[in-house]
Structure 1
Amino acid sequence: MVCLQNDFIKVWIKPKGAELKSLVNKKTGVEYLWDANPRYWGKSSPVLFPIVGALKDNMYTFDGQTYDLPRHGFARDMMFTVESKSETQAIFLLKSDVETKKVYPFEFEFRLIYAVEKNKLTTTYEVKNVGAGEMYFSVGGHPAFAVPLQPEHLYTDYYLEFNFDSDPKKWLLNEAGLLNGEQQAVFLDHGKLPLTKELFKDDALVFKGLGSDQIAIRNQKNETALLFNFKDFPFFGIWAAKDAPFVCLEPWCGVADDVDHDQDLKNKEGINKLGVGESFERAWSVEVS
């Protein structure tokens, strides 16, 4: 694995999926990332590309052709090349090839750029269209953070704190992971959402146009916390597996299909389009204390 560090934090990234595997506060020794225990969920921070969420019937059409893609796409299971590496930054690269074009007919360069500065880790997604026509894609993150962060704490000692104090509405998913068109209010107490195992009994909390662009994971016992910043991501998910000791904070540029979607990729909600030679960039960051 690739290691980045400074005087404050140390991170490990696995080239398969360019997946973040560890985020440690060097001053306190606290590990903030979920350890990918397969008993609950065997991932720690998969990247979602070239789709986010589920497709209707796990397929889509483009220019009259039909393609199959599983939920969240293929990048999380592919080997990235380490394009460059320093003590505090690494760039991982995935290029389209014969295999990707069987399920996704676009030529692309997809980079994940990890950088540490003081107590902050920044993850940047860079997508470039290197083909001869327009390119359509979604991209997003799925980092899972350990809850509780310390063994003497309980899951219910923790809460999420939104920086925009308003009650957002979540969009509901059906059993296939598709948006069913229904909404429900999520009630915050002065911007705080208590973490409970029951919160995710009906799958992820999916938000569109969330007013907040920062969510903190805090607890009632001490000052150990995590600040998650995600400006310019139009969709956001919060999820945990059944009874699992973690919570995922998921910034998305894309979202699952609606149950009534016509399955044409060009008409997909939240889809991003790049012209020939154009690039797209978004970043999220984590600050630990």
Structure 2
Amino acid sequence: MRLILPIILLLTLLASPHTLAQDVLSTADEQAETTAVQDNFLNGIPALAVTTGDDGTQQYSVTLQILFIMTALTLLPALAMMMTSFTRIIVVFAILRQALGLQSTPSNQILLGLALFLSIFIMTPVFQQVNQNALQPYINEELNADQALAQAEIPFRAFMAAQTRESDLQLFLELSDNTDLAGIDDVPMTVLIPAFVTSELKTAFQIGFMLFIPFLVIDLVVASVLMAMGMMMLSPIIISLPFKIMLFVLVDGWAMVIGTLAMSFGV
């Protein structure tokens, strides 16, 4: 029995020599084609073309520029939060929800969506300038990538500089040892962005403080009434929540808050 299985296997191999040879040749051909494709990819792909100009500057091919842009898109959420009005808006909304005593209403998704579209509304003039001065000339091949990036930086720099406090900007200039700059145009973006974010947080907390005061007064009044009635075991938050919601609705609170945020940016 032990000799039968090897004999059967040997007869099978001898019965199909051409098929085995064809399989071996096919495998070898596929490996050769794969190697040729890899060689062509490494040696002749136009996406890796870099052209050096007469003045020493280097120009990258459009395909390679697209690769860089797709890689830079991973930083888009951080740029959206740190270089636009998004930070101030979302912080104010979070403080407002806390002042109302609502833990999860409106939900985080609603607040983020509202803050995002309100930021787009506020930043529309900046986006239009970027599109007109940087994006369209780059698409029409009137500017290269470096020039388009420099033109796109100008509107964002002007917006952030208008919202940044001088004390915050001076702090980061001193920390970076760049105190001998001629003007705001000479401030590096690595200094302007953290100064802008610091100013935005300070402004957001100031607006949040003003929003918190009326709701805090309602909480104090309700707590005093409950203590005077001897109902100390009843949470004042349960009683004050309907009154705070009613007050917020009667004064058209969402319109007031959103309008105040928009006007705080000069819109």
TM range, normalised to the smaller chain?
A: under 0.3
- The structure where strand makes up a greater share of residues is 1
Larger radius of gyration: 2
Q: Flag the structure with higher helix content.
A: 2
The TM-score, its normalising length taken from structure 1, stands at 0.26
